[in-house]
Amino acid sequence: MGNITFTMIKPEAVEAGSSGAIFKIIEENNFRIVSLKKVLLSAEKASKFYEVHKDRPFYSELVEYMTSGPIFAAILEKDNAVLDFRELIGSTNPSEAKDGTIRKLFAESMAKNAIHGSDSDENAIIESDFHFDSNERF
Ligand code: CMP
């Protein structure tokens, strides 16, 4: 059971001014912010981050969208972080997200779904390492 997960507040939620409200929910649910930065992803970096989806029909739309404006990237710490965070953010498709989840509250659509959460402990480490150096974690 891992104790970190990686998240991104996606461009439409940042643009809408929802980042503070989302981090408030995250902290109220006992996740500790280990690292946090606002960044405009390059096409190269976004393509690499989502490489696992490269054969999916939505891949180019996903990369274009994730580079359309700045995101907040963060490492979060809590016992059972990956599963608890996925519960907090809700289903990938906001129309299926449960009441009270971050996606139910802030997502616009499947593509513009407000927030990312790692899907496994292994990916949480890979994704955190992709965005943050060891001297950026506290
Ligand atoms: P996330 O789980 O953070 O990472 C992969 C992203 O791909 C996912 O969020 C969605 O934003 C996006 N995605 C997944 N399925 C679709 C789809 N069918 N159409 C458009 N975007 C999708």
Alpha-carbon distance of 21 to 26, in angstroms, equals 9
Q: Is 58 a pocket residue for ligand 1 (Cβ < 6 Å)? A: yes
Q: Is residue 115 part of a domain?
A: yes
pTM of the entire predicted model: 0.96
Nearest CA to ligand 1 atom 13: 111
Examine the residue annotation and report whether 131 is marked as an active-site residue of this protein. no
* 116 Cα–ligand 1 center, Å: 9
121 occurs within a structural domain = yes
Query: Judging by DSSP bridges, how do beta strands 71-77 and 4-9 pair with one another?
Result: antiparallel
Task: Name the residue range of residue 86's domain.
Answer: 4-40+71-133
**Is residue 32 included in any domain, yes or no?**
yes
Helix (H) or strand (E) holding 15: helix 11-15
**What is the per-residue pLDDT across 52-73, written as a single tens digit (0 to 9) for each?**
999 999 999 999 999 999 999 9
| Residue of 7, 62, 65 best suited for mutating to test ligand 1, as the one with most atoms within 8 Å of CB | 62
Interval 83-120: pLDDT, tens = 999 999 999 999 999 999 999 999 999 999 999 999 99
In a domain, 88, yes or no: yes
Q: Where are the alpha helices (DSSP H) in 16-134?
A: 19-28, 43-49, 59-66, 81-89, 102-106, 121-131
- Say which residues have a Cβ less than 8 Å from residue 94's Cβ, sequence separation at least 6: 103, 104, 107, 108, 109, 110, 113, 114
Q: Is residue 63 part of a domain?
A: no
C-alpha 71: how far from chain center: 9
* Count of domains observed in the chain: 1
Any idea what the CATH number is for the domain that residue 124 is in? 3.30.70.141
The verdict on residue 59 lying in a domain is: no
- C-alpha of residue 135 to centroid of ligand 1, in Å: 31
